[in-house]
A and B are shown apart, each in its own frame.
Chain A
Amino acid sequence: MATVKFDNATRIYPGNDVPSVDKLNIDIEDGEFLVLVGPSGCGKSTSLRMLAGLEEVNGGKIWIGDRDVTNLSPKDRDVAMVFQNYALYPHMSVADNMGFALKIAGTDKAEIRKRVEEAAKILDLEQYLERKPKALSGGQRQRVAMGRAIVRSPQVFLMDEPLSNLDAKLRVQTRTQIASLQRRLGVTTVYVTHDQVEAMTMGDRVAVLKDGLLQQCDTPRRMYDHPNNVFVAGFIGSPAMNLLNVPVTEGGARFGSGLLPISREDLSRAGNEITVGVRPEDVDITSEGDGLPLTVEVVEELGADAYVYGTPASDKAKDPTAPVEKPFVVRTDGRRPPMKGETIYVKPKEGHLHVFNMETGERIGD
């Protein structure tokens, strides 16, 4: 087991001017589950591969424990890519399916058996060790495949979108298994996904990347409550945070008919307009005339809750043909949702407003 450190790690593909990964700095603790997430092309897979030794590092260094692995070949790094291939061999027992890679490496029989049994215990496969894979369920087969990586007892597990070719049900099931398994094993794990829900539910910490640059690396909670910039604010959370550009006035920001109080110090760091963000669950529906008027377009009933998708009424009044921007989403009590077509007034709950500089996208204030 080991720590992992990206130290200004940079990857520039030949023929490109812009780095695909630009001076990445992340310190991963021993035993931590770190998820790299971001839209496609953000550099998350490239970062993982730099750690695995599959991509050259053009600048900076990568450390595993106290070893500088920047120039080591993949097999000398003691990392395991999980789920590269999870085809199981039909004529071999579950135990052999898990342990055969050790046999290739020349590990002795007793040691193989010991490690396979340990892995089987953790994976809840003990009673199946002598069976053939055919006799196992889909989920159990997945676990045998995981066992293959576990018996190698690497210092770091690397997983690159391991769930992408599973169907939705098995994906959710395997997601939970991987996360709990990782906690039981305590092996440092770096996991890549494009799915922010996967990232938030699995990671001890989540690193959001965009255009090769690290945007933020924090616990899921902190990331959700305190996004460092507009990109992270909009990327993390589903439905996404409502983000609006609003004019700055004396003492705050204009929000429909209301005023959002913002400290003078924070306002001094903004221009004439700022971006305000509020999560759907942090919006109150108020009385007529108080706050931002919304025309209700769609109401999504989920039982206990309902999501209301509305368009700021002022936008429509100005220019009815203007394309509707992203809808403003409000989570409300599922028993008394507003009706489609109705106009409602909303404002953020106190203490739940996020403010960003409109030009730079950076967070202002706490």
Chain B
Amino acid sequence: MPLHITANRPDPELLDLPWGLPLEEWPDEFLAALPRGISRHVVRFVRVAGRVLAVKEIKHSIAVSEHNMLRNLERLDLPCVEAYGVVSGRTAADGTELDACLLTEHLEFSLPYRALFSQHLRHDTAARLIDALAVLLVRLHLAGFWWGDVSLSNTLFRRDAGAFAAYLVDAETGELHASLTPGQREHDLDIAGVNIAGELMDLEAGGALPEGTDPVAISGRIVERYAELWDELTGETSLTMGERWRIDERIRRLNELGFDVDEFTMTTDVDGTTIQIQPKIVDAGHHSRRLLRLTGLDVEENQARRLLNDLDSYRAATDRMQDNEEQVAHDWVARIYEPVMARIPAQLRHKLEAAEIFHEILEHRWYMSERFGHDIPIMDAVDDYLYWVLPNKPDEQSVVGVDTVEMPVVAWDD
């Protein structure tokens, strides 16, 4: 059988690779030096026409089905490596047939967990990795994808502008269903628990796991985090008019769980409005950097997160998800942030830092909405807050760098 390459846009340079040799024997000159994970199959990285491809030697039928599965996942906009193509019909010089190869694009700047853990990893970074994997798994499950082999080895991690993202790299055992049964989800979690503990125990045996890290506890965390996130994301998702504050409530709960909102969409039809929230994991300082970039406001992390949540819900509520983010941010500053701040009398401005005042107003509005059971216009909340709350605050201008703290319930009965 002649060599056969199936790819969307095959590069002629592919033909220069030594397809007649078993992948294990490929000479170094063809290989890109990149960290590799544990795999049942032989996997190598090669450089082709300026890009890096991962090559996995595998039976032809499995290569084709995994290729198609990755394509399907891409279409569903799920975080996974991009399928590049399948090479089949390989024959060695002595005439023996060789297995096919599945080619995927190497995910730039991504690292396998072994590389991450063998560097000195801060404790919270390890936790973030697991959270990122929980986010990935929840997203895949929501889309009806049963992984069948959830593991750190089958995941790549990328640190991207402060966000931690996990990508699926191996879909060999996966199946796409219309939706998953609780049994299928549990089974995936069960597999995840065993695999992750095994992988970490292996690092431990190899002396690469930092002292005091407990493989079983970490693998238990993924199951826990998954369950929290799943419950939060699949809870009540319909809203009626005047219940926008409920979105806030959802976001607050997600934040409390340590997840952030990557994207959310609102769909309105005859049955009311449905919201869908896409969570993500971010690095320390991510929110203040993002707010600074979008609005020029330079504030503390938790304040920034609160402000950004308002900006994001403004964006969703004004149906401008397709618009340029900077443009929406500019409008939010002009129509919401600045008018609110302008309303604050000069004599009260020294009470708190501007961003903290804004944050407190948002909190105040949320408590009012919860109390009254409907949305409260921002300016009503401002007036209520300026009348009842702010005048009673001590002066804090001299205390620099206060970060947001939990506020007690302060909205009044009417």
Would you call B186 and A74 a contact (CB within 8 A)?
yes
A53-B183, A165-B62 are known contacts. Are A104 and B197 too (CB-CB below 8 A)?
yes
Interface residues on chain B, size class: 35 or more
Would you call A89 and B199 a contact (CB within 8 A)?
yes
Would you call B202 and A90 a contact (CB within 8 A)?
yes
B184 sits at the interface (CB 8 A): yes
A92 to B38, CA, bound (A): 13
A22 sits at the interface (CB 8 A): no
Binds B, one of A95-103, A273-281, A284-292, A298-306: A95-103
A87 to B99, CA, bound (A): 19
A14-B178, A91-B202 are known contacts. Are A86 and B40 too (CB-CB below 8 A)?
yes
Q: Which of B151, B183, B187, B206 contacts A91 (CB 8 A)?
A: B206
Which residues of B, 160-190, contact A by the 8 Å Cβ criterion?
172-173, 178-179, 181-184, 186-187, 190
Which residues of A, 77-116, contact B by the 8 Å Cβ criterion?
81, 84-87, 89-93, 96, 100-101, 103-104
A87-B38, A89-B201 are known contacts. Are A104 and B194 too (CB-CB below 8 A)?
yes
Which residues of A, 199-231, contact B by the 8 Å Cβ criterion?
none
Closest chain A CB from B333 CB (angstroms): 47
Would you call A104 and B216 a contact (CB within 8 A)?
yes
Q: Which of A54, A75, A104 contacts B181 (CB 8 A)?
A: A54
Would you call B184 and A100 a contact (CB within 8 A)?
no
Would you call A54 and B183 a contact (CB within 8 A)?
yes
Would you call A89 and B202 a contact (CB within 8 A)?
yes
Q: Which of A13, A75, A89, A167 contacts B198 (CB 8 A)?
A: A89
A176 sits at the interface (CB 8 A): no
B59 sits at the interface (CB 8 A): yes
A84-B191, A85-B151, A89-B38 are known contacts. Are A104 and B173 too (CB-CB below 8 A)?
no
A15 sits at the interface (CB 8 A): yes
Chain B residues near A84 (CB-CB < 8 A): 148-149, 173, 191
Would you call B178 and A55 a contact (CB within 8 A)?
no
A86 to B206, CA, bound (A): 19
Q: Which of A54, A74, A89, A104 contacts B193 (CB 8 A)?
A: A104
> Which of B148, B179, B182, B183 is most buried by chain A, counting CB atoms within 10 A of its CB?
B183
Chain A residues near B202 (CB-CB < 8 A): 89-92
Chain A residues near B181 (CB-CB < 8 A): 54-56
A314 sits at the interface (CB 8 A): no
Would you call B201 and A100 a contact (CB within 8 A)?
yes
Would you call B178 and A92 a contact (CB within 8 A)?
no
Q: Which of B149, B172, B195, B205 contacts A92 (CB 8 A)?
A: B205
A101 to B194, CA, bound (A): 6
Would you call B187 and A74 a contact (CB within 8 A)?
yes
A14 to B205, CA, bound (A): 46
Closest chain A CB from B358 CB (angstroms): 47
A93 to B186, CA, bound (A): 29
A52 to B187, CA, bound (A): 9
A73 sits at the interface (CB 8 A): yes
Would you call B203 and A91 a contact (CB within 8 A)?
yes
A15 to B153, CA, bound (A): 36
Closest chain B CB from A132 CB (angstroms): 9
A165 to B59, CA, bound (A): 6
Q: Can you name the residue of chain B whose Cβ is closest to the Cβ of A77?
A: B183
Would you call B190 and A74 a contact (CB within 8 A)?
yes
B219 sits at the interface (CB 8 A): yes
Closest chain A CB from B305 CB (angstroms): 35
A165 to B41, CA, bound (A): 10
Q: Which of B39, B40, B59, B216 contacts A103 (CB 8 A)?
A: B216
Would you call B186 and A73 a contact (CB within 8 A)?
yes
A100 to B198, CA, bound (A): 7
A74-B187, A100-B201 are known contacts. Are A15 and B178 too (CB-CB below 8 A)?
yes
Closest chain B CB from A149 CB (angstroms): 11
Q: Can you name the residue of chain B whose Cβ is closest to the Cβ of A76?
A: B186
B102 sits at the interface (CB 8 A): no
Chain B residues near A52 (CB-CB < 8 A): 183, 187
Would you call B183 and A56 a contact (CB within 8 A)?
yes
A56 to B38, CA, bound (A): 33
Q: Can you name the residue of chain B whose Cβ is closest to the Cβ of A101?
A: B194
B46 sits at the interface (CB 8 A): no
Closest chain B CB from A136 CB (angstroms): 14
Which residues of B, 38-76, contact A by the 8 Å Cβ criterion?
38-40, 58-59, 62
Q: Which of A81, A91, A167 contacts B205 (CB 8 A)?
A: A91
Would you call B58 and A165 a contact (CB within 8 A)?
yes
Closest chain B CB from A238 CB (angstroms): 20
Closest chain A CB from B188 CB (angstroms): 9
Would you call B183 and A74 a contact (CB within 8 A)?
yes
Chain A residues near B58 (CB-CB < 8 A): 165
A52-B187, A84-B149, A84-B191 are known contacts. Are A90 and B201 too (CB-CB below 8 A)?
no
A103-B216, A104-B194 are known contacts. Are A87 and B187 too (CB-CB below 8 A)?
no
Closest chain A CB from B54 CB (angstroms): 16
A53-B183, A87-B40, A165-B59 are known contacts. Are A96 and B191 too (CB-CB below 8 A)?
no
Chain B residues near A14 (CB-CB < 8 A): 178-179
Chain A residues near B59 (CB-CB < 8 A): 164-165, 167
Q: List 19 A-B contacts (CB under 8 A).
A: A54-B183, A55-B181, A55-B184, A56-B181, A74-B186, A81-B187, A86-B40, A89-B199, A89-B202, A90-B202, A91-B206, A92-B198, A93-B205, A96-B201, A96-B205, A100-B197, A100-B201, A104-B197, A167-B99
- Known A52-B183, A103-B216; further 20 A-B contacts with Cβ < 8 A: A15-B178, A54-B184, A55-B184, A56-B181, A73-B182, A84-B148, A84-B149, A85-B151, A86-B40, A87-B38, A87-B151, A87-B153, A90-B206, A92-B198, A96-B205, A103-B201, A104-B197, A104-B219, A164-B62, A167-B99
